A and B are shown apart, each in its own frame.
Chain A
Amino acid sequence: MTLLDYRNDMQRCSRCSLCKWPPLSQIKSWRFSNVCPSMVWGNFHAYSAGGRMIAALALLDGRIDYTDKLVEIVYRCQMGGACDVSCKVNRDLDPLEVMLELRAKCVEDGQVLPAHMVMIESLRSDDNALGEPKAERGKWAEGLEVKDITREKAEVLYFAGCRYSFDRDLQRIARETVKLLRMAGVDVGISGKEEACCGGRAFEIGYRGEFTKYAEHNIETWNAAGVRTVVTSCADGYGTLRSDYPRIGKTMNFEVMHITEYLDRLIEEGRLKLTKSVPLRVTYHDPCHLGRLSEPYIPWEGVEKKVLGQVVVKDPPKEFRRGTNGIYEPPRHVLSSIPGLQLVEMERIKEYAWCCGAGGGVKEAYPDFALWTATERIEEAMATGAEALVTACPWCERNFKDALEQSKAKIKLYDVVELLLEAL
């Protein structure tokens, strides 16, 4: 698909502004009634999904040309997709796809951000977007003596992803996850230094070539290694593997599971026994890529036809991703299984959760905006009275950590795995 393929979607935007709010029935207070960080930050209509659709249409039609402002509007967005969910409550439009295609067009036209070029250069040289040397990729697992799937077979491939592989503050979570899996008797292996980026961030910032390269590489590698199950703790990676890899049309001979899904299954099967009380009141942050953005891409090719005079229908019918089939319950089941732990919900959850702020290349290009977005979420978490904010994504955790450091807010931060370990 290209931007042009979505021209009708752009034209049919009604400028209702529903993309700026959670689904209206789910608004619970004035304070937490916005859903689009970009719009709250930028305030001009152009910063909304609807605004970006109009901008894309104006660009396609030659009404406008690239300016610094246009490029900033295109990229000052985490691509978290809450706008897309809100739009689709009532409409059959694909604003997030339009925004993704607009970024791809910007890259094609050479309209890129220096910060993103640095990420891509790092990807090209070291297979990660964090500027870290490839040789150090597997160091997080040193001493674990876990199977290396490039040399031996394992029932489950644990895919650490770039953030867990290189972020010194977070590496221990990957290590503890592997330990946890082994405690449950899971035959787990890793790719070590041979692991490569999932390509998700490249996809989000419009670099389709890099995305395709990593998607093909990972699928081919894992298929060749006979991997049956890929488990990852990285919600970003999970969303990419599950939602975006199907875009390239290569057969994947493996299932993809997020660690919270897998742990939920292990708890259900009695392979993990949670015995210790963890007396803590927590609230859970739904990572965008684990929730609404984890629904697999559904390819559609067809035409629009008219019935009943002027009613426009897609032939064959097009199935839309509306965010309702994301991974929402498994992390909550895991948390609820922990003795003594009390889970309280924030106002914006699941399909319409507020983004952590890190995604879409924003953390790299607009770090102040990323931290502001995280601070908004932290304030929402604190409004629940929770003692701790729990998430299931290293990108969320990194950004929350940075925001907490800056704001000095008094709330603890955990990954689901950390709390689970405390209960064993």
Chain B
Amino acid sequence: MGLRRDSYRVLEGIVGPQNISEDPVILDTYAFQWLAETISGTKFAARPEAVLLPGSTEEVQAVIKTCNRYGIRYKAFSTGWGPWNTVGGEGVVQLDLRRMNRILDVDAKNMYAVVEPYVIGAQLQVEAMKRGLNCHIIGAGSNTSILASATSMAGYGLSGIFMGYSGCNVLAVEWVLPTGEILRLGSLGSGAGWFCGDGPGPSLRGVMRGFIGALGGLGVFTKCAVKLYPWYGPATIPMEGIRPLDGMPIPESFRVHSLTFPSWEALADAVYRIGEAEIGYVVGRALPPGMIPVLNVSSSAEYAQMLQMVTRAGVMDEFKYCIQTILGASSARELEYQERALEEIMSETGGTIIASMEEASVREVLFRALIKVEGIARVFQLAGTFATSLGAGTSWDAAVASGKLGEQLKRKYIEQGAIADDGGDLAWGGAYQHCRFGHLEEIIMYDFQDAESLKGADDYVAESAQAAVEKSLGQPISIVPGMAEHFGPTSFNYHIWMRKIKKAFDPGMTADPSFYIEAEQPPGK
């Protein structure tokens, strides 16, 4: 289709000729995505008409106004990982916010940072640590945008027991609405700075993102403030080596353990108690049983050998109901309290520390993985890709039920050979905000180049989503087009409210709705 020449020239005038392209090679590199095969059958989803690299809020605003004037749809992303970042079809331009990459402020006294879209977790974390602070990083990894997870997207991080959820950590926000107007949320809206998301000034966090986020369907977020939390370690952590098996020194103020329990129920109880005691810096299943071997291997062949060996030897039984924990405290006395509290919780729930994971080198690797949140890409290594399922943000009990269900449902597909035999339990997740809520998502690994495997993966994701509805386990974390229409009727008709929001905020329908919601109900739905 292509853009009309006059509109292209206007857009080019806004961002500069070096920051706009409609060359096929540029377009294809934005069409290619992880999980695109679940939408298009190949690694390439739809091509944008052009890609733009705006460098400021003013440029974003001008681009959006131009899109409104010429009837062009747009889709913005920051670090852009996942199919929801691709455009929904013809007539859409992609805004890659990569050039907006500054940390504008780290306010140590008031414990927040102000960031642009392309600041990643690893960048903000090291700058925060220099000031005795840390930021919440989602499980997708510290290579992902802080702003995106705060304003636009779901995603949980295992430091959530201590640091909450990105959707809650977001404070003031600068938002270029689909019309091109700029809306400043929270304290920023009344010129009072970035410290608060809810006022003085407009508090529209629920409209802005709901729980999951609008996934680019409601305009562009150009700056936001996020809450920071205490960091009890040194300003910098000296670390040699780059291999995943290289550990990170554990400061005195932290303790790292892997725990196991006699049953899912005991595990659930223990995590509730941990939340009630308000202890823990990181708590969750960073390494569910099927991923434990990755601590010791560097290739998929080694993984397979190791998993088979430890399964035969019965070692995996010990990891069946496992979690990993980091305790962190500002004083030796507080750390001692936390350790004693954890011991008591373990004693009352039948939990034990997994002895084989207590070796210093293993704990250091675990500490690195949990604090730096850098290893998620390893899950791609084994079968070529992965998908996730279930995993609603819900009560911790329901999360545990999701974990159990996922393992049961996977069994059939593993036996068919359609997905990787990871032992069945790859339930990843944890409890957040001192266990006010939690999530466990069931991961599957598959070979997208194998038609049978791809079909098996698709079928499993669909079956697990249906099961989640039937068992009232909440909306799955797997994001597909049309999701709101599918799940809305079973979840207070939230899709109707989303549609109203879409209509009110985007009367010109310029923000690509493909992963959010169309303004009008699709025929036949």
Name the A residues within 8 Å of B299 (CB-CB).
Answer: 92, 313-314, 317-318, 320
Q: Are B421 and A309 in contact (CB under 8 A)?
A: yes
* B409: interface (CB < 8 Å): no
How far does the alpha carbon of A8 sit from the alpha carbon of B81 in the complex, in Å? 20
How far does the alpha carbon of A21 sit from the alpha carbon of B51 in the complex, in Å? 22
Name the A residues within 8 Å of B120 (CB-CB).
Answer: 21, 33
Given A308-B308, A309-B420, A91 contacting B377 (CB threshold 8 A): yes
Given A14-B377, A33-B122, A26 contacting B239 (CB threshold 8 A): yes
Given A29-B126, A58-B28, A43 contacting B304 (CB threshold 8 A): no
* B355: interface (CB < 8 Å): no
* B67: interface (CB < 8 Å): no
* A27: interface (CB < 8 Å): yes
Q: How far is the CB of A304 from chain B (nearest CB, A)?
A: 10
- B25, B32, B300, B422: the one within 8 Å of A73 (CB): B25
Name the B residues within 8 Å of A14 (CB-CB).
Answer: 34, 81, 377, 380, 385
Q: How far is the CB of A58 from chain B (nearest CB, A)?
A: 4
Q: Are B33 and A30 in contact (CB under 8 A)?
A: no
How far does the alpha carbon of A18 sit from the alpha carbon of B377 in the complex, in Å? 9
* B394: interface (CB < 8 Å): no
* A16: interface (CB < 8 Å): yes
What per-residue 1/0 map shows which CB atoms of B112-141 lie under 8 Å from chain A?
000000011011101100000000000001
Name the A residues within 8 Å of B103 (CB-CB).
Answer: 30
- A23, A28, A92: the one within 8 Å of B300 (CB): A92
* B19: interface (CB < 8 Å): yes
* A421: interface (CB < 8 Å): no
Name the B residues within 8 Å of A109 (CB-CB).
Answer: none
Q: Are A26 and B32 in contact (CB under 8 A)?
A: no
Name the A residues within 8 Å of B449 (CB-CB).
Answer: 8, 11
Binds B, one of A64-72, A154-162, A188-196, A368-376: A64-72
Name the B residues within 8 Å of A13 (CB-CB).
Answer: 32
How far does the alpha carbon of A204 sit from the alpha carbon of B53 in the complex, in Å? 30
Binds A, one of B58-66, B315-323, B368-376, B463-471: B368-376
* A224: interface (CB < 8 Å): no
Q: Are B242 and A352 in contact (CB under 8 A)?
A: yes
Q: How far is the CB of A267 from chain B (nearest CB, A)?
A: 23
What per-residue 1/0 map shows which CB atoms of A12-36 lie under 8 Å from chain B?
1111111001011111111001000
- Name the residue on A nearest B444 (C-beta): A310
Name the B residues within 8 Å of A320 (CB-CB).
Answer: 299
Given A44-B26, A308-B308, A24 contacting B301 (CB threshold 8 A): no
Q: Are A46 and B25 in contact (CB under 8 A)?
A: yes
Interface centre among B123, B242, B299, B375 (most CB of A within 10 A): B242
Q: Are B447 and A310 in contact (CB under 8 A)?
A: yes
Q: Are A25 and B453 in contact (CB under 8 A)?
A: no
Q: Are A43 and B53 in contact (CB under 8 A)?
A: yes
Name the A residues within 8 Å of B375 (CB-CB).
Answer: 90
Given A33-B123, A310-B418, A310-B419, A51 contacting B384 (CB threshold 8 A): no
- Name the residue on B nearest A39 (C-beta): B98
* B248: interface (CB < 8 Å): yes
Given A54-B32, A55-B25, A310 contacting B383 (CB threshold 8 A): yes
- Name the residue on A nearest B384 (C-beta): A12
* A303: interface (CB < 8 Å): no
Given A24-B374, A54-B28, A309-B418, A16 contacting B300 (CB threshold 8 A): no
Q: Are A30 and B127 in contact (CB under 8 A)?
A: yes
Q: How far is the CB of A347 from chain B (nearest CB, A)?
A: 10
* B520: interface (CB < 8 Å): no
Q: Are A30 and B414 in contact (CB under 8 A)?
A: no
Q: How far is the CB of A27 from chain B (nearest CB, A)?
A: 5
Q: Are B419 and A24 in contact (CB under 8 A)?
A: no
How far does the alpha carbon of A70 sit from the alpha carbon of B29 in the complex, in Å? 11
How far does the alpha carbon of A307 sit from the alpha carbon of B417 in the complex, in Å? 10
How far does the alpha carbon of A11 sit from the alpha carbon of B383 in the complex, in Å? 12
* B6: interface (CB < 8 Å): no
Q: How far is the CB of A106 from chain B (nearest CB, A)?
A: 12
Q: Are B28 and A67 in contact (CB under 8 A)?
A: no
Q: Are B141 and A24 in contact (CB under 8 A)?
A: yes
- A24, A29, A63: the one within 8 Å of B44 (CB): A63
Q: Are B419 and A309 in contact (CB under 8 A)?
A: yes
Q: Are B127 and A16 in contact (CB under 8 A)?
A: no
Q: How far is the CB of A301 from chain B (nearest CB, A)?
A: 16
Given A29-B127, A64-B24, A311 contacting B248 (CB threshold 8 A): no
Name the B residues within 8 Å of A309 (CB-CB).
Answer: 414, 417-421
* A324: interface (CB < 8 Å): yes
- B28, B373, B378, B383: the one within 8 Å of A63 (CB): B28
How far does the alpha carbon of A233 sit from the alpha carbon of B270 in the complex, in Å? 61
Given A28-B126, A90-B244, A44 contacting B53 (CB threshold 8 A): yes
Q: Are A24 and B372 in contact (CB under 8 A)?
A: yes
What per-residue 1/0 map shows which CB atoms of B52-85 lie under 8 Å from chain A?
0100000000000000000000000001110000
- Name the residue on B nearest A74 (C-beta): B25
Q: Are B242 and A15 in contact (CB under 8 A)?
A: no
Given A14-B380, A26-B239, A312-B447, A44 contacting B244 (CB threshold 8 A): no
- A30, A63, A89, A314: the one within 8 Å of B244 (CB): A89
Name the A residues within 8 Å of B127 (CB-CB).
Answer: 29-30
* A322: interface (CB < 8 Å): yes
- A25, A33, A54: the one within 8 Å of B29 (CB): A54
Beta-carbon contacts under 8 Å, B443-465 to A: 445-450, 453
- A25, A70, A315: the one within 8 Å of B374 (CB): A25
How far does the alpha carbon of A8 sit from the alpha carbon of B381 in the complex, in Å? 12
How far does the alpha carbon of A70 sit from the alpha carbon of B120 in the complex, in Å? 28
How far does the alpha carbon of A54 sit from the alpha carbon of B79 in the complex, in Å? 17
Q: Are B420 and A308 in contact (CB under 8 A)?
A: yes
How far does the alpha carbon of A156 sit from the alpha carbon of B187 in the complex, in Å? 72
Q: Are B25 and A313 in contact (CB under 8 A)?
A: no
Name the B residues within 8 Å of A30 (CB-CB).
Answer: 102-103, 119, 123-124, 126-127
Q: Are A15 and B81 in contact (CB under 8 A)?
A: yes
11 new A-B contacts, CB < 8 A, other than A8-B384, A55-B25, A307-B304, are A8-B449, A21-B143, A27-B123, A43-B98, A69-B21, A73-B25, A89-B377, A90-B374, A92-B300, A310-B417, A310-B453
Q: Can you list 27 residue pairs at the A/B interface with Cβ under 8 Å?
A: A8-B449, A11-B448, A14-B34, A18-B143, A21-B143, A25-B368, A27-B123, A29-B126, A30-B126, A44-B96, A45-B26, A45-B29, A54-B29, A64-B28, A65-B24, A90-B244, A90-B381, A308-B308, A309-B418, A309-B419, A310-B445, A311-B300, A311-B383, A313-B299, A313-B304, A351-B242, A352-B242
Enumerate chain A interface residues (CB-CB to B < 8 A).
Answer: 8, 11-18, 21, 23-30, 33, 43-46, 51, 54-55, 57-58, 63-65, 67, 69-70, 73, 85, 89-92, 306-315, 317-318, 320, 322-324, 351-352
Closest 7 A/B residue pairs (Cβ): A90-B377, A24-B374, A313-B301, A69-B23, A23-B242, A308-B421, A64-B24
